[in-house]
């Protein structure tokens, strides 16, 4: 019995759609049990059904907490951005540090994210030519322009609210918005996307943040 319960729990935990439907109480337990019997290759209907019924009690939905945090959030939207990724090296990092100081100090828009393979520079289009000049072609891993940046600034509770970034990301996804990059630091969640998606993204998220938008 315990083994079936564990297998059911593991399956549901790795299938967000089935888990969300179950936690929301909109799924037929018997139908789900029959489906899981096939997936788990077991004939023990009663054990599977019992495990399904226990799952929401042991794994309560956090959707109300997500909605509350998002309602207390505000957004910032930036257009005409470019994304330049350079090789991760000490020399390039020094260049990036100098570039950041110059552009940020002059009131330009720039964001830096260091990964294991590359250093990502998100910068406004006005300053892009100057940034590109600093790196030889062989040091540039990728370049994309005509991007937008949507920043969701949420209350500090999201630091301990597991799954919050995935929740906001799923809202964008189901509304047909393709995200190119996402980064989460402190209480900011930043989404980089093709500029053509920005108006839709702003509209969708603004509705869930009680209309709170901070224009840069």
Is 106 within the bounds of a domain?
Answer: yes
- Confidence grade of residue 26 (pLDDT, cut at 50, 70, 90): confident
The reported pLDDT for the residue numbered 44 is 93
* Whether residue 36 is found in the same domain as residue 119: no
Same domain, 34 and 118: no
Is residue 86 within 8 A of residue 109, CB to CB? The reply is no
Q: How many domains does the chain have?
A: 2
Instruction: Identify whether residues 195 and 95 lie together within a single domain.
Output: yes
The yes-or-no verdict on residue 2 having pLDDT over 70 is no
Q: How confident is the model at residue 211 (pLDDT cuts 50, 70, 90)?
A: low
| 90 belongs to a structural domain | yes
Residue of 16, 31, 8 whose CA lies nearest to 62: 16
Same domain, 46 and 82: no
User: 35: domain range?
Assistant: 2-61
Residues 6+ apart with CB under 8 A from 127: 103, 108, 109, 110
Would you give the DSSP letter of residue 177?
P
Q: Is 214 domain-assigned?
A: no
Confidence grade of residue 112 (pLDDT, cut at 50, 70, 90): very high
Q: What is the pLDDT of residue 38?
A: 92
Report the range of poorest mean pLDDT among 53-57, 119-123, 180-184, 209-213. Answer: 209-213
Confidence of residue 118 (pLDDT cuts 50, 70, 90): very high
**11, 27, 61 — which closes off a domain?**
61
Residue 24: pLDDT band (50, 70, 90) is confident
Distance CA 111, CA 122 (A): 5
Query: Which strands make up the sheet holding 74-87, listed edge to edge?
Result: 110-114, 118-124, 74-87, 140-153, 188-194, 179-185
Q: Are residues 88 and 193 in the same domain?
A: yes
Q: Is residue 215 a part of any domain in this protein?
A: no
140 in the same domain as 79: yes
160, pLDDT greater than 90: no
Q: What is the pLDDT of residues 74-111, one digit of tens each?
A: 999 999 999 999 999 999 999 999 999 999 999 999 99
41 and 80 part of one domain: no
Q: Measured between alpha carbons, how far is 200 from 175 in angstroms, rounded to an integer?
A: 8
pLDDT in tens, 181-210: 998 888 899 999 999 999 999 999 999 997
Instruction: Pick the last residue of a domain from 10, 29, 61.
Output: 61
pTM exceeds cut of 0.85: no
Q: Is residue 157 part of a domain?
A: yes
* Structural domain contains residue 13: yes
Average pLDDT over residues 51-63: 85
Same structural domain for residues 85 and 151?
yes
Whether residue 194 is found in the same domain as residue 133:
yes
Are 103 and 51 contained in the same domain? no
43 and 97 share a domain?
no
| Residue linked to tokens 């990059």 | 181
Residue 213 forms part of a structural domain = no
CATH of the domain at 174: 3.30.2130.10
Q: What is the reported pLDDT for 216?
A: 56
Q: If DSSP codes are grouped into helix, strand and coil, which group holds residue 40?
A: helix
pLDDT(174) > 60? yes
């Amino acid at each position: 019995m315990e083994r079936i319960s564990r297998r059911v729990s593991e399956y549901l935990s790795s299938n967000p759609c089935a888990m969300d439907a179950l936690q929301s109480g909109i799924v037929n337990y018997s139908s789900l049990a029959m489906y899981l019997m096939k997936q788990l290759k077991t004939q023990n209907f009663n054990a599977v059904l019992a495990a399904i019924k226990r799952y929401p009690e042991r794994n309560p939905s956090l959707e109300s907490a997500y909605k509350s945090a998002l309602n207390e959030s505000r957004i910032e939207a930036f257009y005409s951005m470019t994304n330049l990724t350079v090789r991760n090296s000490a020399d390039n990092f020094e260049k990036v540090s100098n570039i950041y100081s110059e552009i940020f100090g002059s009131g330009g828009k720039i964001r830096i994210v260091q990964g294991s393979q590359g250093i990502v520079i998100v910068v406004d289009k006005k300053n892009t030519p100057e940034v590109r000049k600093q790196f030889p072609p062989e040091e540039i891993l990728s370049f994309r322009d005509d991007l937008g940046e949507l920043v969701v600034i949420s209350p500090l509770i999201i630091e301990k609210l597991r799954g919050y970034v995935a929740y906001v990301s799923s809202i964008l996804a189901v509304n047909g918005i393709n995200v190119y990059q996402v980064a989460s630091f402190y209480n900011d969640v930043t989404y980089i996307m093709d500029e053509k998606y920005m108006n839709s993204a702003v509209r969708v998220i603004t509705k869930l943040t009680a209309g709170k938008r901070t224009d840069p």
